[in-house]
Structure 1
Amino acid sequence: MAVGINAMAVTFVAHALAVIAAIMVLFWSISYRGGLAWEAENKNLIFNLHPVLMLIGFIILGGEAIISYKALPLEKPVKKLIHLVLHAIALALGIWGICAAFKNHNESGIPNLYSLHSWIGIGVISLYAFQWVYSFIVFFFPGGSPNLRSGLLPWHAMLGLFAYILAVGNAALGFLEKLTFLENGGLDKYGSEAFLVNFSAIVTILFGAFVVLTVSAKSPSSSPPIDDEPNYSYSAI
């Protein structure tokens, strides 16, 4: 079901929010938290990779992958390839971001997987990986039969959107968790860093909302299926 707005117009707002969110999380990690590093005496620099990679890599690129299929006025095979590659990069960066959190915890003597944020995070990345692998096999290579692809299409779209919405919600939960730790450690609850973290979470949620709105909007092109390929589109929801 599509709402009566053009997907291309919605994406302009989504792209702007993505840029703002990326700048905010980088500014927070570098200016307030000291920078980014994979190897460092200060283990907090290792953890700083986690929010940056999860937001820019997983949330933003994952959202752009969804947007690309619905809003780009390109031929279906090209859109499919862009969709596939962006999701693959998002998944790889998401795994790297989770590894950064584990590395920080292990080197700092902090227990792993004790919070709701971490539990949901493992679930989301696992679901995302499952979605990508089976979609690659069924829709890309070697490719399932037309009947199989047509039958799985709505489930592919619905499961992918569910995983993405869950990822955005968990990102907001992660901002809350980190800010709570910082405030318990003495950070001013009404200081500039606290406001920056909260607004970063809000912008992230707004970006996710516009990604979902893009899914529900009218596609700029409605080209007929190529050969025997089903109409692979989020509008199938």
Structure 2
Amino acid sequence: MEKRPQFLLALSAAAAAGVVAVAFVLRWVLHFREGLAWDGGPAEFNWHPVLIVIGFVVLQGIAIIVYRLPWTWQRSKLLMKFIHAGLNLLAFILAVISMVAVFDFHNFAKIPNMYSLHSWLGLAVVVLYGVQLVLGVGVYLVPVAPASWRAAFMPLHVYSGLLLFTSVIAVALMGITEKLIFGLSNPKYKDSPPEAVFVNVLGVLLVVFGGLILWIATRTSWKRPSDQVLHALHTNEGGEDNTKVGPALSQLSAGNDAESSADVRRRSNTLDDEAD
């Protein structure tokens, strides 16, 4: 991997931001709010920010960069695709549960549903995320899609994945701001009480985490090498000119798996053989 120390620094910073963000959201609902429960009250609503941060932000972020982790490069690409899909599926399930908690609370408290921009965009992101998940599994895990379909769909799959991740963070920031505006009355949000400052810091952590994940996911030099390059490295006994292998490490197949049509064709045959 090129610039491995920089990668490890970015990865460590992202992991730290993600862990601290989860700790902050738990501290928020357990200390400043009503805690966690499933009783139709405010404590049930609190599952919404907790599950969104844990699942839709942190787990989705991990899923995006899981291919970039160099200690996974000796694992088969098919296994990594299952891990990538599994993390995204878990994030989706947690997001759906968080939505159920919101609707449950609103119905119990006689609060109208789906009236704010946050709710509109939030529901849209969840639905589109589900579509992305189904299409990703159907095209890249089920060994029936033609190689030409995989190649054609890849740029859209990569772009929509990054767009949805960015949108989730934006919608989360809208949500925590909306909650503070509605939830703080004496003192009000504009007066910067401790809860407001604390949750604002949570918002900054989400942005930092998202920015680091996007940085890692978009560095070409940090992509997973193609299976052909990895095989060449594993079988090279040192008698060959390693300068021919080194540059090839820069030609990577992304954590979000952007490949040429020829690479996809070769890979699809391998995946079909492994799936049988």
The TM-score with structure 1 as length reference comes to 0.89
* 1:48 match: 46
Q: Relative to structure 1, is the Cα distance of residues 185 and 127 closer, same or farther in structure 2, using a 3 angstrom cutoff?
A: farther
Deviates more, 1:48-57 or 1:184-193: 184-193
* 1:131 match: 132
Query: Is 1:22 aligned to residue 25 of structure 2?
Result: no
1:88-237 to structure 2, matched below 5 A, reads 88-184=89-185, 186-187=187-188, 189-217=191-219, 218-219=221-222, 221-224=224-227, 231=253, 233-234=255-256, 236=258
* 2:59 match: 61
Tell me, yes or no, if the aligned pair for 1:216 and 1:235 is still in contact at 8 Å. Answer: no
Quick one: which amino acid aligns to residue 27 of structure 1? R
Tell me, yes or no, if the aligned pair for 1:70 and 1:234 is still in contact at 8 Å. Answer: no
* 2:265 match: none
SS of the residue corresponding to residue 141 of structure 1 reads coil
Aligned-pair distance for 1:141?
Answer: 1.3
Q: Distance in 2 between matches of 1:110 and 1:4?
A: 52
Q: Distance in 1 between matches of 2:186 and 2:176?
A: 15
Q: Distance in 2 between matches of 1:141 and 1:64?
A: 23
- Work out which of the two has the higher radius of gyration on C-alpha atoms and give 1 or 2: 2
Quick one: which amino acid aligns to residue 99 of structure 2? I
Q: Relative to structure 1, is the Cα distance of residues 196 and 51 closer, same or farther in structure 2, using a 3 angstrom cutoff?
A: same
Q: Distance in 1 between matches of 2:122 and 2:173?
A: 11
Aligned-pair distance for 1:58?
Answer: 1.2
SS of the residue corresponding to residue 112 of structure 1 reads coil
Q: Distance in 1 between matches of 2:144 and 2:89?
A: 17
Q: Distance in 2 between matches of 1:73 and 1:136?
A: 24
Aligned-pair distance for 1:199?
Answer: 0.5
Quick one: which amino acid aligns to residue 30 of structure 2? I
Tell me, yes or no, if the aligned pair for 1:175 and 1:197 is still in contact at 8 Å. Answer: yes
* 1:83 match: 84
Q: Distance in 2 between matches of 1:220 and 1:165?
A: 20
SS of the residue corresponding to residue 114 of structure 1 reads coil
Coordinate RMSD, CA, aligned: 2.4
Aligned-pair distance for 1:205?
Answer: 1.0
Aligned-pair distance for 1:12?
Answer: 1.3
Q: Distance in 2 between matches of 1:105 and 1:168?
A: 23
Q: Distance in 1 between matches of 2:207 and 2:254?
A: 26
Quick one: which amino acid aligns to residue 147 of structure 1? S
Quick one: which amino acid aligns to residue 175 of structure 1? I
SS of the residue corresponding to residue 73 of structure 1 reads helix
| Runs of 4+, deviation exceeding 6 Å | none
Q: Relative to structure 1, is the Cα distance of residues 77 and 182 closer, same or farther in structure 2, using a 3 angstrom cutoff?
A: same
Gaps of 5+ in 1: none
Deviates more, 1:74-83 or 1:99-108: 74-83
Quick one: which amino acid aligns to residue 209 of structure 2? F
Provide Cα deviations, 1:38-91, integer angstroms capped at 9, x if missing partner: 126xx1101111100111111111111102123353232222111110000000
